[in-house]
Amino acid sequence: MTTSISSLVCASEAAAMTFKSHTLNRSRLFHTSAICKDYEEEKAEMDIFSKELTAEDTESLSNIRNIGISAHIDSGKTTFTERVLYYTGRIKAIHDVRGRDGVGAKMDHMDLEREKGITIQSAATYCSWDKDGHQYNMNLIDTPGHIDFTIEVERALRVLDGAVLIVCAVSGVQSQTVTVDRQMKRYNVPRVTFINKMDRMGADPWRAVSQINSKLHMAAAAIQVPIGAEKEFKGVVNIIDRQSVYFEGSQGEKLRVTKEIPEDLKQIVEEKRKILIETLADVDDDIAECVIDEVEPTIEQIKSAIRHATIARRFTPVLMGSALANKGIQPVLNAVCDYLPDPSEVLNKALDIEHDEAPVTLVPSAERPMVALAFKLEEGKYGQLTYLRIYQGKLRKGQMMTHVKSGKRVKVARLVRMHSEEMEDADEINAGEICATFGIDCASGDTFTDGNVNYTMTSMFVPDAVVSLSVHPASESAANFSKAVNRFQKEDPTFRVHYDKDSKETIISGMGELHLEIYIERMRREYNVECKVGRPRVAYRESIMGSASFDYTHKKQTGGAGQYAKVMGDLKASSLADPEDVGAKLEEDIKFRNYFQTKIVGGKISEKFLMACQKGFEDCCEKGPLVGSKVLGVDMTIDDGATHPVDSSELAFRTATHYAFTQAFLQSQPVILEPIMDVVITAPIEFQGAVIGLVNKLQGIIHDTDNHADEFSLTSDCSLSNLFGFASKLRASTQGKGEFTMEFKEYQPVLPNIQKQLIEEHEKKEKEKQK
Ligand SMILES: Nc1nc2c(ncn2[C@@H]2O[C@H](COP(=O)(O)OP(=O)(O)OP(=O)(O)O)[C@@H](O)[C@H]2O)c(=O)[nH]1
C-alpha cells in the first residue's frame, strides 16, 4: 500500500522548476552543463585520463560497481536488495518487508521504516559477488521510492556509476519510474532493468519492455524469457546463450542451468533474440554490420554490444524474475558486473577554485590527490556518520583532510564500509569506492580533499519546496527542537526551517506533506519533541501576464539629509522578453526566470546605485506584492532616472525600485500561480467509477486511464490545494485499496475568484499584524 502514513497529500520532484524558478548560480550552471552530455565527448575525455591509470588502478577499479536501485514505490527494491545481500553472503537469512517474523528487511533499518514498510532514508551497503571465479565488490544504495524523498534518490544517483531499475511486471512503467528515469538521465546513470513480481497475477513483461521503449524513450530489449508465469513461474531462458536457468532450493539459492529449453518456449526465445539483435543494431555498429551481412553475431559480440550501449546510455538490457519468490536475482548481479561501468568508465568533474572554478576531470587513480564528496549524513550510534564517495586518490584512517567550504582540516579517526546500520572497519579506501567516517562537521554535498588541490564537486540539485507547515514545539522541548531541525537540515537540503517574524511562527517546508510528517514523527521519537502543527500550506507564486512602464520618484525631506531617487523603465512578463536580450540559455525557461536589466546612458544613475536598484528588485521577487509569495517570470528594465548630488543614497534607490516594481506589477495583469500536480491513482477495477467521481470533485483533469487485468490506473492534473487530505478520501472511496503518487508538474494561474480570496486573506492578516 503506497500511502501507509496518514495522508500523503502533496509532493513535488520539481525537477524542471529548479532550473526555472531560481536565479542560476555558478555551480548550478556548471552542473546543468555537465548533464545529458553526449557520451562520445565523455569517452574522448576518459580515453585521455585512462592513460594516467596504473595497471593496479585499472585492476582494482574493474572489480568495483557502485550501484543504485531505483523504482516506483512498492516495486520491490527492498525485497530485491534483501535477496542480493543473502546471495552475496552478507546476511544469513531473508527477512521480508513487513514480514511475519517481525525483523523487517535489512536495509530498512529505521524503526519508522520497518513499521510503515517503506524506505525513507537510503542505506549504503557493501557486498562481494563471485562471477565466473572473479570477485566483484559492490556498493549498493537502496533508494527510497516515495517522491517526497526524491532528494535521497538524487543524491544516490549523483555518486553512483550505474543502477538497477526495477519495474513491476503487472503495473509496468509508472509515474515514479518516469521520474527516476529522468533523474538517471540527468546524472548520466546507465542502467539494467529488472522486471519484478513475475509471480503476480497479470504479470506481463513484454508490455513493460514496450513501455520502457515508448514511455522512457530508451531502447530496451529483453535478454531473458520467463519459464512459466504467475504461480508457475520457475525460471528464465537466457536469450543470448540459449540456456535455461531454474532457481531451486528453499531460497532460490541453487541455480540449475541447462541447455534444454522448454519446447513451448523455443519459438518465443528465437523471436525475442531477433528483437534483441535488431534493437542492438540500432545502437551498435558491429551488430549493425552483422545484420546487414545477414550473419548471426556471436555471444561475445552481443555481450560486448550490450555493455557498450548500456554504458553509453543508449540501451538497457531487461531481465525478469520475482524477488519475493527468490527467482531471477543472481542473473541481475551478473548483468551488473557484465554491463554496468566500473568507476574508470564514468566521467566525473570538479571545479578548480584556484583557477576561477574551471572544470577539471577527476581521475580515479590512487596516485592522485584525494577528492571526496560527502553525499549523505546520518546520526548513528557513535555520532554523526558521513558517507563519502572517493573520486580520486585514496583515504587512509588517521589521515587529515580539508573541508573545502570552511577550509578546516579534519582528522579521519575511523573509516568504515557500511552494511546498512552495521559497519566494517577499513584502513584505506581507494578512488571509486564508497565509505563512511565519524564525527566530521559538514553538510551533505560538501567536498573534502587531502589539501593538495582546492576542488569542489558540483552542487547537488535541490528542488524547491512546495508545501509548508507551522510548528509549535512544547516549550519544555525547545532546545531539543532546535537540535533536531539543525540536524535534519544538514541531512536533507529539501527540508527547510525558518522563523516568520510577521506571524511569529516557526515554519517548516519540504517536498510534500508526508515528507514533513516524517520529520515531525522523527522529532517525537528521536528527540522527544511534541509539536503542535498547523494546516499545510501551498507555496504559491506570483507573476504577471502583461507589461507596464514606471516613472517613480522617491523623495523625502524630514530635516537633516533627505532621500531622493528617480527610476524609470518598464516591467514585463519574462515570456514577452526577447531571449537574446536577457541572455536566456533555454528558451522554455524564460517565463520562469526573473531578469533585471539596466540601460542607462550618460551616467544618470551610478553603478553603485544601480546595484541598490537590483537589490530592491530582488526584495520584491522574494516577497511579491499580491500575497507575499515568491515572484516568477518578471523582467524589469531601468532605462532612465535621476540622482540628487546630496540626498541620493543606496537606500533611496532600493526603496524607489521597490515602489516602482510594486506599482508596475499591479498594472501588468498580475496573477497568483499555484502548483499543479501530476497525480496517478491505481485501484482495483471495481472502484473505477468512485475514483473518477473523486477526481472530478477535486476539479482534476483526467488525461489517461489504463485498464489491466484486475486494476486500473488513472493519470490526472490536479491543483495541490485541492489535494490536501486526498489520501484519506481515496482510502474511503476504495476501501483502503487505492494507491496514488503525485509529483509537481507546473505552475498555473488560480481562478480569479480564488485570487481575490487569497489577496483578501493576505490583506486581513497584514492588517492584524499592524494592530
Ligand atoms: N508478489 C510479489 N510481491 C513482491 C515481490 N517483490 C516485492 N513484493 C512485495 O511488494 C511490496 C513492496 O516491496 P518493497 O520491497 O518494500 O518495495 P520498495 O520498492 O522497497 O518500496 P518503497 O521502499 O516503499 O519504495 C511488499 O509487500 C513485498 O512483499 C515479488 O516479486 N512478487
Evaluate: CB of 506 within 6 angstroms of ligand 1: no
Evaluate: CB of 97 within 6 angstroms of ligand 1: yes
**Model confidence pLDDT, tens digit, residues 448-499:** 999 999 998 855 456 667 788 889 888 778 888 988 888 888 777 778 898 8
**3-class SS at 690?**
helix
Q: What's the gap in Å between 687 CA and the centre of ligand 1?
A: 23
Query: Phi/psi zone of residue 638: left (φ > 0), alpha (ψ -120 to 50 degrees), beta?
Result: beta
For residue 173, give the H/E element and its range.
Answer: none
Closest CA to 95 of 329, 327, 251, 231: 251
The Cα–Cα gap between 373 and 344 comes to 17
The CA–CA distances, whole Å, from 714 to 12, 628, 694, 708, 734 equal 18, 35, 12, 11, 14
Q: What is the DSSP letter of 720?
A: G
197 is in an annotated binding site: yes
Evaluate: CB of 177 within 6 angstroms of ligand 1: no
Residue nearest (by alpha carbon) to ligand 1 atom 32:
197
Identify the CATH homologous superfamily for domain 467-539.
Elongation Factor G (Translational Gtpase), domain 3 (3.30.70.870)
Burial of 501 (0-12, 13-18, 19+ CB in 10 A): exposed
The Cα–Cα gap between 126 and 412 comes to 20
Q: What's the gap in Å between 358 CA and the centre of ligand 1?
A: 44
The Cα–Cα gap between 342 and 305 comes to 16
The CATH number for 349-456, chosen from 2.40.30.10, 3.30.565.10, 3.50.50.60, 3.40.50.720, is 2.40.30.10
Same fold for the pair 349-456 and 674-753: no
Q: How high is the pLDDT of residue 380?
A: 62
CATH dotted code for 546-668: 3.30.230.10
The Cα–Cα gap between 761 and 753 comes to 12
Q: What's the gap in Å between 188 CA and the centre of ligand 1?
A: 27
**Residue 584: other Cβ atoms inside 10 A:** 17
Q: How high is the pLDDT of residue 421?
A: 57
Q: How high is the pLDDT of residue 217?
A: 84
- Pair 486, 523: CB distance under 8 Å: no
Judge: domain 674-753, CATH 3.90.420.10: no
Evaluate: CB of 670 within 6 angstroms of ligand 1: no
If one residue of 4, 97, 120 were mutated to test the ligand 1 pocket, choosing by the most ligand atoms within 8 A of its CB, it would be: 97
Domain ranges of the chain: 2-7+20-345, 349-456, 467-539, 546-668, 674-753
Burial of 43 (0-12, 13-18, 19+ CB in 10 A): middle
732 is in an annotated binding site: no
Q: Which residues contact 441 (CB under 8 A, 6 or more apart)?
A: 384, 403, 408, 410
ipTM reported for the complex, 2 dp: 0.97
Evaluate: CB of 79 within 6 angstroms of ligand 1: yes
The Cα–Cα gap between 670 and 684 comes to 43
Residue nearest (by alpha carbon) to ligand 1 atom 14:
76
Q: How high is the pLDDT of residue 460?
A: 47
CATH dotted code for 2-7+20-345: 3.40.50.300
The Cα–Cα gap between 671 and 761 comes to 16
**Model confidence pLDDT, tens digit, residues 265-287:** 999 999 999 999 999 999 999 99
Q: How high is the pLDDT of residue 27?
A: 29
The Cα–Cα gap between 96 and 82 comes to 8
The CA–CA distances, whole Å, from 143 to 39, 107, 444 equal 25, 10, 16
Evaluate: CB of 119 within 6 angstroms of ligand 1: yes
Q: What's the gap in Å between 174 CA and the centre of ligand 1?
A: 15
Evaluate: CB of 147 within 6 angstroms of ligand 1: no
Evaluate: CB of 253 within 6 angstroms of ligand 1: no
| 113 Cα nearest atom in ligand 1 | 23
Evaluate: CB of 230 within 6 angstroms of ligand 1: no
Q: At what angle do helices 650-666 and 607-622 cross, to 10 degrees?
A: 50
Taking the chain (771 residues) in consecutive chunks of 10 residues, what is each chunk's mean pLDDT? Answer: 25 25 27 48 80 84 90 82 87 60 52 47 74 89 54 69 93 80 80 95 93 90 94 94 93 92 95 96 92 93 96 95 95 96 90 80 91 81 81 93 90 82 83 88 85 78 74 84 85 81 80 79 86 85 93 83 90 77 52 83 87 94 92 92 88 94 95 88 88 93 82 88 84 81 82 93 85 72
The CA–CA distances, whole Å, from 664 to 139, 572, 668, 670 equal 56, 9, 6, 10
Residue nearest (by alpha carbon) to ligand 1 atom 5:
324
Evaluate: CB of 324 within 6 angstroms of ligand 1: yes
Closest CA to 69 of 152, 8, 11: 152
- Pair 362, 348: CB distance under 8 Å: yes
